[in-house]
Structure 1
Amino acid sequence: MPYRPRCAFVTIGQTPRTDILDEVLRMAQAADLDFDEYGAMNGLDETDIGAQRPREGERGFYTRLAHGGFVSVRASFIEQRLRRLIEIIDRRDYDLIVMLSTGIFETWDTRARLIHSQKLTDLWINALIAGPGPIGIMYHLPTAFDSNLAVNTALVQTTRMVKVAGESPSLDEAARLLRDTDIIVMHSLGYSDAHAVMLAGLVERPVVSVRRLVAGALRTALDELHHDARHPPAGDRQAGPDVLDKLPDSAEPLTPREQDVLRAALTGLSNKEIGRNLAISHRTVAIHRARALAKMQVSSTTELLRRALVKHGG
């Protein structure tokens, strides 16, 4: 069966977010993955959510609920729930986690590869700031602008900001304010590709949407995962792809990453060496190694090799 990466898409609101995810998957041409959606506010009813509306002067997130309506919720409440959710997701052996929200500045040390929409957008903006001309950044909410300045004060020196509230932006007003910038970034996954195309037509300038940035990062990550599955690193190739075939059957199938780690471990490589070859941390290697050995019902690679010798009459 062809290898299909497993991906978790995460939003600060409730799922499903077909309004965002369908377009991101189409842009990324991502028919070659299996995915699940998770929302930080999944399972909460309107009473629970209503109790978390931001107080005066308190930072909040504006996001969509399962029924399609939008709500503003205290940022601290969302961040706490999101932190717990990421921990749960990362124990489910996904290859990739994609954060489908900007405005989240916390980073997490995940075993899975992480596409962090805010960090990705920051990298783009910082690169554009280095250019000679002004750039425009369009936000859904004024509070989003204020939050970004708190983290990246360089923005205020060389950019023109537009604060547009609501899910349907006033493109005419944005075009008037940003007409003399060199390039515009639509700083929210709520802005669709159609919004970007319309704004570009009004200002006759390049417009970049965060959806495009996330889709590009997703396509790159999928290509790399497929490449890794087809071409194991040198430490793995030394053992040969048939090594696992000589081992006793596992209690449950090993994931592609567990197979990679186990092959490399059977060549005598340390966790740090395996980590360097696979471009993951040695702690992540240790986790995959432990899971693989548990599935093989052994406590060490030495015991595993001993059982392999018994199986083949060695």
Structure 2
Amino acid sequence: MNPSLVFIDGDQGTTGLQIHERLRGRTDLTLITLPATERKDATRRAEAINACDIAILCLPDDAAREAMSAIVNPAVRVIDASSAHRTQPGWTYGFPEMTPEQPERIATARRVSNPGCYPTGAIGLLRPLSHAGLIPANHPVSIYAVSGYSGRGRVGVEQYEGPGAVNAPSFQVYGLGLAHKHAPEIQQHAGLSQRPIFVPAYGAFRQGIVLTVPLDVRQLGPRVDGATIHACLARHYAEAPHVQVMPLHESSALTQLDPQAMNGTDHLRLSVFPNDEHGHVLLSAVFDNLGKGAAGAAVQNLNLMLAQ
């Protein structure tokens, strides 16, 4: 069988570089690359994207839409790592662990939207619970997350590693207008009927994410508690190699969460922290924003599509 042709459009960005490195040396595919002088040449990019079997778009949203408009070869399949198509009809959401049917949907899809980094953690926690009825669809959900500065792409890396790094803030909360572009993606794929409150932040570390969702179980129903929530997550991800649900006896021994704990892996670690006395539960997700939150997820989706 001939190797599949894969073109990474935007292979010099933070995510594109990671994907390129992960695919280097594989014998089941051939990477189509453009020399530096042709990367911004619309004609050469169009030729490359129409010559491949699978294109991976690592571009800003508008550029991703432009790349899609250049595709005239109906055989070309696409993984879009931008946020341009994550809530669009006709696109398959590239979170294989979201439902039992999702891996097959991704494997046979023509158009796959790679999840956002923050949504990977939020949806990973919330989707199984909303599907099981433990969190009502109309429940007011609040999400708090801190990412490494590479989550901003090359701009973030330059701010913290470039000449002006001495002036880079140690911590910054952003999205203060509560209009972050990830909120609709989380709402749709987590099975929520109303927009969640999402408060993101960047820390002075290169990569890694810790995302938390606080819940008051008294608002969820008389039979819902931390143990019930944990059992639901553990059951949902029992056969998922890239998602770890920390046992309750292990999470109860923790006093802090390190956003960098899963760096260098493609794993998503979920935890449940119940406080039965006060009726509160804290859900958490820790993962590498460049691993399961970006490049690792894209390669996971690529592998599913290549196996079809």
Normalising by structure 1, what TM-score? Answer: 0.38
The structure richer in helix per residue is 1
The structure richer in strand per residue is 2
Q: Which has the larger radius of gyration?
A: 1
